[in-house]
């Protein structure tokens, strides 16, 4: 039997708790996830906070944007059940046993994120990702050895390399492939891709996997982790296989 994939709580498990909140971190810990995936943006005063969208409608029901608010205004927000927003600094300092996947959503959040991770000496438990290839390139240049995911451009190169006759290598410095199952009608995660990534020392961690059938299929493919909005469901599904 294959080793069960690790479970990564996407936005803290947004299908089972309110995403990117202090409470969602506690929930992720209660589910014993391997990592908490989150997104960071910068407030008007530069404070880096956990927040996916530039607009605050989700999850806070507020019509303003992240960049319009200072720290006092942002941390006064509350979720439907009184949930609290949280900064990256507090997430790292207040929950020191938890590993994080930090998706940098905007360039202005990069410098603040690096400062916070450095101050917390959390390099060993933070993996950076971004849809911006430029952001990841800058990050690796400034901090050689930092843990990063393949950039979108690098995912494309990996797909071509995996399907080439020579199974050629390329060295990006990334140790994680966090990818959707398909993109633009093209299948990404299959046995060929998983095998090639593993031959390069790259972990395969598909997102966002919320259906039980997909969880089981990916387990059979031998992926290393599953990123999901439903960590409790994923745990139950994989353990019952």
What span, in angstroms and rounded, lies between the C-alpha atoms of 215 and 2? 13
User: Would you say residue 110 lies in a domain?
Assistant: yes
Q: 2 falls in which pLDDT band (50, 70, 90)?
A: confident
User: CB–CB of 54/65 below 8 Å?
Assistant: yes
Looking at the chain, the whole-number percentage of residues with pLDDT higher than 90 is 93
User: Would you say residue 211 lies in a domain?
Assistant: yes
- In this model, does residue 167 exceed pLDDT 80? no
Instruction: For 21-172, list the strands marked E by DSSP.
Output: 35-42, 48-50, 100-104, 126-129
Q: 166 falls in which pLDDT band (50, 70, 90)?
A: confident
The pTM (predicted TM-score) of the whole model is 0.96
User: Would you say residue 93 lies in a domain?
Assistant: no
User: Would you say residue 65 lies in a domain?
Assistant: no
- In this model, does residue 169 exceed pLDDT 90? no
CA angle 170, 171, 177 (to 5 degrees): 90
CA-CA distances (angstroms) from residue 59 to 17, 55, 71?
Answer: 11, 9, 17
Task: Encode pLDDT of 207-226 as tens digits.
Answer: 999 999 999 999 999 999 99
User: Would you say residue 136 lies in a domain?
Assistant: yes
Domain span holding position 107: 6-40+100-239
Task: Encode pLDDT of 25-68 as tens digits.
Answer: 999 999 999 999 999 999 999 999 999 999 999 999 999 999 99
Q: How many domains does the chain have?
A: 1
Average pLDDT of the segment spanning 174-195: 96
Task: Encode pLDDT of 109-134 as tens digits.
Answer: 999 999 999 999 999 999 999 999 99
- In this model, does residue 172 exceed pLDDT 90? no
DSSP, res 207 = B
**Within 10 A of 182 (CB to CB), how many other CB atoms are there?**
11
**SS3 letters across 146-173:** CCEECCHHHHHHHHHHHHCCCCCCCCCC
CATH code assigned at 187: 3.20.20.190
User: Would you say residue 68 lies in a domain?
Assistant: no
User: Would you say residue 212 lies in a domain?
Assistant: yes
Average pLDDT of the segment spanning 180-192: 95
């Amino acid at each position: 039997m294959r080793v069960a994939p690790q479970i990564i709580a996407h936005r803290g498990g947004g299908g089972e708790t309110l995403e990117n909140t202090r409470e969602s971190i506690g929930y992720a810990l209660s589910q014993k996830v391997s990592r908490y995936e989150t997104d960071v943006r910068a407030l008007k005063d530069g404070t880096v906070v956990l927040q996916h969208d530039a607009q605050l409608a989700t999850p806070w029901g507020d019509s303003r944007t992240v960049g319009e608010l200072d720290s006092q205004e942002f941390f006064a927000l509350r979720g439907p059940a009184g949930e609290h927003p949280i900064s990256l600094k507090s997430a790292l300092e207040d929950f020191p046993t938890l590993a994080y996947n930090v998706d940098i959503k905007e360039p202005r959040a990069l410098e603040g994120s690096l400062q916070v991770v450095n101050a917390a000496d959390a390099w060993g438990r933070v993996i950076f990702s971004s849809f911006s290839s430029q952001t990841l390139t800058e990050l690796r240049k400034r901090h050689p050895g930092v843990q990063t995911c393949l950039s979108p451009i690098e995912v494309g190169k990996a797909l071509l390399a995996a399907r080439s006759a020579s199974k050629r290598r390329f060295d990006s410095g990334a140790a994680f492939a966090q990818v959707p199952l398909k993109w633009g009608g093209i299948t990404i995660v299959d046995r060929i891709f998983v095998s090639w990534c593993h031959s390069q020392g790259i972990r395969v961690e598909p997102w966002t996997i919320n259906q039980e059938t997909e969880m089981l299929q990916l387990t059979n493919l031998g992926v290393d982790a599953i990123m999901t909005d439903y960590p409790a469901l994923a745990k139950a599904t994989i353990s019952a296989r």
